[in-house]
Amino acid sequence: MDILIRENYEQMSKSAAEIIASCVRSKPNCVLGLATGGTPIGTYQELIRMHREDGLDFSQVKTFNLDEYLGCGIELDKPYNMDQSYARFMYEELFRHINIKKENIHIPDGKTKDPREFCKRYEEEIKKAGGVDLQLLGLGADGHWGFNEPGSSLGSRTSLVALTAQTLDDNYEAFYKNANIERSQMPHFAITMGIGTILDARSILMIVNGSKKADTVAKCLEGPVTSQITSSAIQLHSGDITVVLDEPAASKLLHADHYRHVEKMKLQYGL
């Protein structure tokens, strides 16, 4: 596991975007797993810049998003209203600014009439695409990945889940308050890739910023593997793992100096 500590959010975002861009350059038809939330916005902005200024080409890239609120969704590139779906977020923050093909974008369908059947199909679609090459992840305040809240099985697959009060609070601030939607009107369920689904990705890129998540970062990376911090399953992943943190998010790590040392040594030895 490579743990990279960057001075601030901007540097974290640049490093993360560079890792994604190098995946796209080395495998133009790669499959990316994507996340929403406040954390990846800077990474997406940097990818958009790379697309515009350096010609980073997404024309063959396929994407699978982690999650979606039940009852929410838009048809990409058709007119939409104040829907607070993750589909809308992705369209506005990334997809409409790059040359990705609409048919290559996959986001759980929050408006499905049969969520359980949909979840099965989503897993099959990921397999059919050849599996995820690089999965981008944020970290929830309670340690979740996707919407895999404390207590979710570490082997879980894409499924319909209930959200915790904390996640509703966190996401109310981020998504709903600005849209003048009452907290009581927020969806309480979501479709999410499972922890098992996420661990199937060939490589994982987790990004975290801010001192508010410092305790959770330490539990996730240096604590025991537990379903109470579902992202601690990162310690079980068998492929490439890169974690990019800003200084405040890394501030509670016991071995931060070691991680800095390892990064320096790897650069020095060209590894």
Stretch of 21-29, 123-131, 140-148, 217-225 contacting ligand F6R, by CB under 6 A: 140-148
* Token representation of residue 15: 């490093």
CB 183, CB 258: distance < 8 Å = no
Q: Which is nearer to ligand F6R, 83 or 263 (CB)?
A: 83
- What residues are labeled active site? 67, 142, 144, 149
Using rule CB under 6 A, residue 66 touches ligand F6R: yes
Structure tokens at 235: 């310690």
Q: Measuring CA to CA, how many Å separate 186 from each of 36, 115, 171, 234?
A: 17, 18, 9, 29
Measured CA to CA, the distance from residue 257 to residue 162 in angstroms comes to 38
Instruction: Choose one: 45-53, 120-128, 134-142, 220-228; the region binding ligand F6R (CB under 6 A).
Output: 134-142
Selected from 51, 111, 144, 219, the binder of ligand F6R by CB under 6 A is 144
Q: Is 138 in the site for ligand F6R (CB under 6 A)?
A: yes
Residue 48: which of 97, 102, 104 has the closest Cα? 97
Residue with tokens 């997809």: 95
Name the DSSP letter for residue 93: H
Q: Tell me if 146 contacts ligand F6R by CB under 6 A.
A: yes
Q: Which is nearer to ligand F6R, 112 or 152 (CB)?
A: 152
Count residues binding ligand F6R (CB under 6 A).
Answer: 14
Interface region with ligand F6R, contact rule CB under 6 A, candidates 14-22, 53-61, 71-79, 143-151:
143-151
Q: Would you give the binding string for ligand F6R spanning residues 168-207, x where CB under 6 A is met? A: ------x---------------------------------
Provide the token pair at 183.
Answer: 């907290």
Nearer to ligand F6R, 36 or 112 (CB): 36
Instruction: Output the smallest distance, CB 62 to ligand F6R, in A.
Output: 17
Torsion of CA 127, 128, 134, 137, to 10 degrees: -60
Residues 19-38 that bind ligand F6R (CB under 6 A): 35-38
Give me the least distance between CB of 56 and ligand F6R, in Å please.
22
DSSP calls for 113-180: S-HHHHHHHHHHHHHHTT--SEEEE---TTS-BTTB-TT--TT--SEEEEPPHHHHHHHIIIIITTTT
Q: Mapping DSSP to helix (H, G, I), strand (E, B) and coil, where does residue 208 land?
A: strand
Q: Which residues bind ligand F6R (CB under 6 A)?
A: 35-39, 66-67, 138-140, 144-146, 174
